[in-house]
Structure 1
């Protein structure tokens, strides 16, 4: 048994859980501290990461039930079966668009699988309305000193939506 397998078994025995959040779009993964919005960069609502998209499709970073879908279709909150709550916020200053430039058929209460499409957006429309193209992905109920967050270390490589692990969360 490898060292990592032994650690995973030990974590299971101690009741520690591990979650993997995948890239929500194609593009660059950046630390949340680099998002030019204090609510996200100062971690006022939680720890996480952000992406600078090169595509116009946003996917679920983890499987779970949608416990919030913004009326403006720019933000989604997913609750996993074991209680982790994750916010996906598409763009900065996008709430003011009242849903214009976004397409989704998802509604609160629906279940989404990791890698399933959440929303598509019109890149040119958002840019023309002074929206900044950052997609923060935040664990909104992760304020526990036992939680450990590991951001994908090599953010020089372009992430692949639904495949590249962007953030590992342990100990929740």
Structure 2
């Protein structure tokens, strides 16, 4: 009668699909010219060599953090996966130059909502690269991250990752 009383019910896995937040060419994370990303120290994911300076929300969720220097943003999906979009490499050193945030911490967003815009020319000139890693920053807290094999993506249209949590 009481045998199931103290059992912890395992929840059903919840899968979300992450769409490309930026239009451009997909770069495997291992090929990103920054060891922090290439060695997946920040988590699993992919990178995009951007074709334009628009960043849209890759999932329905909540903006958890817009970095003060506007070079990166974290959106938490409905399954608690945290998607870090890190615009360019060594862009923190630009201290916000060339970046415009269109959202703030706590905003609720839908796939396709404009998050950020940036000036590619400024990044190409003053930072290491415009390559933009898209990382599941809490990889240790999700069940599985699957890369979807694509080479060119259009923001809001192509799926790039599946995250099961």
Q: TM-score, normalised by structure 1?
A: 0.84
How far the C-alpha of 1:135 sits from its partner, in A, is 0.8
CA distance in 2, matches of 1:81, 1:165: 17
Residue among 141, 146, 149 paired with 1:150: 146
SS at 1:78 equivalent: strand
Pairing 1:1-172 to 2, within 5 Å after superposition? 15-143=12-140, 147-155=143-151, 158-170=152-164, 172=165
**Does structure 2 retain, via aligned residues, the 8 Å contact 1:62–1:114?**
yes
CA distance in 1, matches of 2:162, 2:91: 27
Q: Deviations over 1:99-132 (max 9, x none)?
A: 1101123111111111211111111111111330
Q: Structure 1: which 5+ runs fail to align?
A: 1-12
Q: Structure 2: which 5+ runs fail to align?
A: 1-9
Q: Deviations over 1:66-101 (max 9, x none)?
A: 111111111101112331111110000111111110
**Does structure 1 retain, via aligned residues, the 8 Å contact 2:61–2:77?**
yes
CA RMSD of aligned residues (A): 1.7
Q: TM-score, normalised by structure 2?
A: 0.87
**Does structure 1 retain, via aligned residues, the 8 Å contact 2:50–2:130?**
yes
**Does structure 2 retain, via aligned residues, the 8 Å contact 1:31–1:151?**
no
Q: How many residues align?
A: 156
**Which aligned segments of 4 or more residues in structure 1 are displaced greater than 6 angstroms?**
none
